[in-house]
């Protein structure tokens, strides 16, 4: 069986944000076993799974991404929406826009230290639209 819902994440500032609980709150009851596929409908944000306890990890990831893909490079031509515009597109390719998470015993089967991150690469990205597909 397959079900699918679309929902909106609340607006967040630039950075890496732990959104596991917000995602779970938007989902219907999960099947006993299956897969949750998440897709973010934007080209300037991403999704990933990482450390769910120490917020310094999210801070460090922001710094790493900003070091790897810097703003204000003279070779950028896609700058219509500001200096964070083109770098946000490049960062979303690196992070990715979708996740697949196993469902076991009606819960997301994440590791003990794992959580779902919204990678917000824009200074003001706005609300982010998501698609959740549940396969059981």
**Domains in the chain and their CATH numbers?**
2-135 (2.60.120.460)
Do residues 42 and 92 lie in contact, with contact meaning Cβ atoms separated by under 8 Å? Answer: yes
Q: Where does 43-127 show beta strands of DSSP type E?
A: 45-51, 98-104, 107-108, 114-124
Tens-place pLDDT, residues 41-96? 999 999 999 999 999 999 999 999 999 999 999 999 998 899 999 999 999 999 99
User: How far is Cα 73 from Cα 85, in angstroms, rounded to an integer?
Assistant: 11
């Amino acid at each position: 069986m397959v079900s699918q819902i679309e929902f909106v994440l609340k607006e967040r500032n630039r950075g890496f944000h732990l959104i596991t609980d917000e995602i779970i709150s938007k989902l219907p009851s999960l099947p006993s076993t299956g897969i949750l596929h998440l897709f973010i409908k934007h080209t300037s944000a991403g999704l990933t799974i990482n450390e769910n306890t120490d917020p310094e990890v999210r801070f460090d990831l922001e710094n790493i991404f900003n070091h790897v893909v810097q703003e204000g490079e003279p070779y950028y031509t896609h700058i219509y929406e500001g200096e964070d515009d083109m770098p946000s597109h490049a960062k979303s390719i690196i992070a990715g826009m979708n996740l697949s998470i196993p469902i076991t015993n009606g819960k997301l089967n994440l590791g003990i230290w794992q959580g779902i991150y919204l990678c917000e690469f824009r200074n003001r990205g706005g609300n982010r639209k998501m698609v959740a597909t549940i396969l059981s």
